Amino acid sequence: MKDSPNFLTCPAVPELPSPKGEDLIKPKKESQHPSAPANVGRDKPDIKPVTKDVGRPGRSGRGKGLVKALILLIVIGLGVLLIPPAIAVGRAAWAGLEARQALASLQTRLQLGDFDSAANETARAKQALEDVNQNLQGVGFFRDLPFIGTQVRTMQDVAVVGAHSLDSLLDLLDVAKAMSEALASGSQAVGQANVPIEPSKRWQDLTKADKRNLLRTLQSSLPDIRLARDKIDLALALWSAIPQDRLLPPLAKVLQPMADFLPIMRQAMDQSVPLLEAMIPLAGYPDQKQYLLILQNSDEIRPAGGFIGSVAKVTLDGGDISDYQFFDVYNIDNPVSAVWKEVPPEPLVKNLGVKAWFMRDANWSPDFVQSAERVLDFYLRESALQGKTEKTDSVIALEPGFFRELLRLIGPIEINGKSYDDRSFMDLLEYEVEIGFQQQGVKLEDRKAVLGELGAVILNKVQAMPKSDWPKLLNLVTTAFAEKQIMVYSRDATLQSLVDRRGWSGRAKPTVCDFTWVVDANLAALKTDGKMVKSVSYVLDARDVQKPVANLTLTYTNTVTKIDWRYTRYRSYTRVYVPEGSQWLSTKGAMAGDLIQTGGKFVPGKTDIMKELGKTVFGAFWAIEPGKTGELSFSYALPSSVSDCLAQNNYQLDWPKQPGADNIEINVKVIMPRTIVSADPSEPESKWGDATYEAQADLREDRVFKVKY
């Protein structure tokens, strides 16, 4: 009913009507004053004397006794009927007041984020509501009366529902507490990892002991960061399991900001743990590390990055760079050319004309771990042939993209009167080592000495960055790792495991369902990759899930306008890695040689079919003249392993990035047997509701496409 009372507004004691005795017992007349004359003011006495009848009880006294007995019986009866319900209602009202106070305190505790106290108040309110229900059971037959009974039953229902709601709230408060503790733990872990160094302090201002102490502090914070990450995972799992309609408005208001921030904190923890796990030993703590640094020029793309034009030796000891030296790779290869007998892969022999496999061409596998091990092996053995003993057991590869981003951060640098910035860096450097050194009278074997000068200036500017800019540098480095502009390999199994787990080793990915990996190898095309516009299209017809057929088409445009010392026709031996067991159907665009080699006529080339890295591989040579666009396509039937995942209404295409290939556009089109339910990345909404999935992306990082139908 509209104005029905509830357990929060019911009075403590019921208001009952006062008994009236006027019609049962008449009041006595006032007595005359004793000193007054008996008949003053009266003509006649009003009452005649009554003769007392000794031995016979008076009717008046007997009537009064009966009345009193009747009243007593009525009072007792009313007491029997009304007192227990009144007591029950009073206790229920008191419990309702207790519940009201607890709920008011609960709201305050929630707003303060004091979830322990909020849980206590919730339990108190829940118990009070249960007491309301229990006490109202004692009103007896009043529960069956038309009006009063309705009110009583309504109050009981409200109490029961309220108690159940508060029981659910206790579960929610467990989640809230877990979220609060997770955030507190994360903040504490971050605080412990925050080394007390003034924001204006620079790396070069720190002593060697300071640097080691910083790394020691970061290492000691790792257990706390891992624990914080686990707590955040638990809190997020609890939060995601709760229907949002169960949240009380005050609790939702408190929890939503925490829920929004938890994923951010989780991401920070997720990045921090493997980052610190890998970066600390990589920085030479607790034991110093010696690295072979290889500079891979992606303007001349090779399978595991770019052509290895220069190398350096670098020693890191507790974050302190104690030694670095740059070398032209030819100064390592040429002195042993007469005795070096390593047999190169067939495509290098046929399309590059080499007779021996040297360090400069050793990054032939797109799996950087395999390539880096071969580079390191060649370096150590070639050095030994020259009478040099090297102890390095780790390799770091750097691509031009990393240096461009680094110069964008630290600003331009000046070398020999020339300014190198993020836009001019590669142009100036390639000119200096190919043409400029001759004009300056520099010996051929010393032409890359400019790299040492560049490295020294860049290193000084990086070390001069204030602490407040260190996060920017760290973000730049982690992005470069994600985009395979930096890759690491080590013969130290523990360190390699950390690098692999972080995804910094450029190791080949396993096949989950479908897989494609396009790997170019510039063979005698100079630095032409820097002028190529590359796009790759993948079309899968899976309408018959037992016979899925794929077509991969590479469309490359050579924007070079003329052939010179730096640019020429494009020449590549391209391999496509697909799921093992795929059956090759056809190839279009493969060439026996470039047009110069074949007399200006297009001569079809063969397709090599191999197995590498747990994949089936199709390989072919092709060439594109300046100003022209070329296409190379492979058609193939996918194996039963892909049919199996399609039969489960799930499809996944993994498309890794080739290291160094930073400017490739990829297009995916998948035709399913039924209407697509969901996809990641999603299509535009205008394309929903059919059986075809289409997506476009750049290939700056490894990509994954998932489709459910």
User: For position 111, what pLDDT does the model report?
Assistant: 67
Looking at CATH, the fold of the domain delimited by 514-708 is given as Immunoglobulin-like (2.60.40)
- Give the pLDDT mean for 60-64: 62
- DSSP reduced 3-state for 575: strand
| CA distance linking residue 251 with residue 161, whole number of Å | 18
Span of 216-230, 379-393, 520-534, 669-683 with lowest mean pLDDT? 216-230
31 phi, psi to nearest 5 deg: -75, 145
Query: Does 489 score more than 60 pLDDT?
Result: yes
Helix (H) or strand (E) holding 234: helix 208-240
Tens digits of residue pLDDT in 270-323? 777 777 888 899 999 999 999 999 999 999 999 999 999 999 999 999 999 877
Query: Does 39 score more than 60 pLDDT?
Result: no
What is the identity of the amino acid at 283? A
User: For position 640, what pLDDT does the model report?
Assistant: 97
Q: What angle do CA 535, 673, 664 make, to 5 degrees?
A: 10
| CA distance linking residue 308 with residue 297, whole number of Å | 7
- Give the pLDDT mean for 655-682: 96
Span of 246-255, 531-540, 670-679 with lowest mean pLDDT? 246-255
| CA distance linking residue 633 with residue 19, whole number of Å | 106
More confident residue, 227 or 251: 227
Cβ contact 342:358 at 8 Å:
yes
Cβ contact 454:413 at 8 Å:
yes
Tens digits of residue pLDDT in 156-188? 666 666 666 666 566 666 666 666 666 666 666
Please state, for a pLDDT cut of 90, what percent of the chain lies above it: 53
* Residue 635, both tokens: 């058609």
| CA distance linking residue 317 with residue 319, whole number of Å | 5
Cβ contact 627:532 at 8 Å:
no
User: For position 307, what pLDDT does the model report?
Assistant: 97
CATH 2.60.40 segments of the chain? 514-708
586 phi, psi to nearest 5 deg: -165, 160
User: For position 138, what pLDDT does the model report?
Assistant: 64
User: For position 521, what pLDDT does the model report?
Assistant: 98
User: For position 250, what pLDDT does the model report?
Assistant: 64
- Give the pLDDT mean for 501-511: 94
Order of all β-strands in the sheet with 678-680: 514-515, 650-655, 703-708, 678-680
Of 376, 403, 655, 617, give the one whose Cα is nearest residue 513: 655
Query: Does 60 score more than 60 pLDDT?
Result: no
- Give the pLDDT mean for 614-618: 98
Residue 356 pLDDT class (50, 70, 90 cuts):
very high
CATH 3.40.630 segments of the chain? 289-502
- DSSP reduced 3-state for 367: coil
Cβ neighbourhood burial of 204 (10 Å; 0-12, 13-18, 19+) = exposed
Residue 359 pLDDT class (50, 70, 90 cuts):
very high
b/e burial code for range 582-595 (CB count within 10 A of at least 16 → b): bebeebebbbebbb
More confident residue, 579 or 189: 579
Tens digits of residue pLDDT in 517-555? 999 999 999 999 999 999 999 999 999 999 999 999 999
- Give the pLDDT mean for 92-101: 75
- The residues, ordered by sequence, that sit 6+ positions from 433 with a Cβ below 8 Å of its Cβ are 309, 447, 448, 450, 451
User: For position 354, what pLDDT does the model report?
Assistant: 93
List residues bridging with 707 in a β-sheet. Answer: 651, 679
Residue 112 pLDDT class (50, 70, 90 cuts):
confident
Query: Does 491 score more than 70 pLDDT?
Result: yes
Tens digits of residue pLDDT in 120-141? 877 887 787 777 767 666 665 5
| CA distance linking residue 332 with residue 376, whole number of Å | 12
Query: Does 263 score more than 90 pLDDT?
Result: no
More confident residue, 509 or 152: 509
Span of 65-79, 295-309, 646-660 with lowest mean pLDDT? 65-79
pTM above 0.85, yes or no: no
Residue 3 pLDDT class (50, 70, 90 cuts):
very low
Integer Rg of the chain from CA: 44
Tens digits of residue pLDDT in 363-413? 999 999 999 999 999 999 999 999 998 889 999 999 999 999 999 999 999
Residue 245 pLDDT class (50, 70, 90 cuts):
low
User: For position 50, what pLDDT does the model report?
Assistant: 46
Query: Does 208 score more than 80 pLDDT?
Result: yes
Of 282, 274, 264, give the one whose Cα is nearest residue 226: 274
Strands 664-671 and 532-541: parallel
The CATH code belonging to domain 289-502 is 3.40.630
| CA distance linking residue 407 with residue 476, whole number of Å | 11
User: For position 379, what pLDDT does the model report?
Assistant: 97
User: For position 678, what pLDDT does the model report?
Assistant: 95
Query: Does 55 score more than 60 pLDDT?
Result: no
Query: Does 515 score more than 80 pLDDT?
Result: yes
Of 706, 201, 271, 268, give the one whose Cα is nearest residue 501: 271
User: For position 695, what pLDDT does the model report?
Assistant: 96
396 phi, psi to nearest 5 deg: -120, 125
- Give the pLDDT mean for 257-264: 71
Span of 32-46, 94-108, 408-422, 627-641 with lowest mean pLDDT? 32-46
| CA distance linking residue 301 with residue 451, whole number of Å | 20
Kindly report the number of other CB atoms within 10 A of residue 619's CB atom: 22
User: For position 582, what pLDDT does the model report?
Assistant: 98
Residue 67 pLDDT class (50, 70, 90 cuts):
low
Q: Is 330 left (phi over 0), alpha (psi -120 to 50) or beta?
A: alpha
Residue 239 pLDDT class (50, 70, 90 cuts):
confident
| CA distance linking residue 300 with residue 324, whole number of Å | 25
- Give the pLDDT mean for 441-458: 90
- Give the pLDDT mean for 5-22: 38
Residue 2 pLDDT class (50, 70, 90 cuts):
very low
| CA distance linking residue 608 with residue 437, whole number of Å | 41
Query: Does 41 score more than 50 pLDDT?
Result: no
List residues bridging with 488 in a β-sheet. Answer: 396
User: For position 195, what pLDDT does the model report?
Assistant: 58
| CA distance linking residue 302 with residue 366, whole number of Å | 8
End-to-end Cα separation, the chain, in angstroms: 52
More confident residue, 32 or 336: 336
| CA distance linking residue 486 with residue 495, whole number of Å | 16
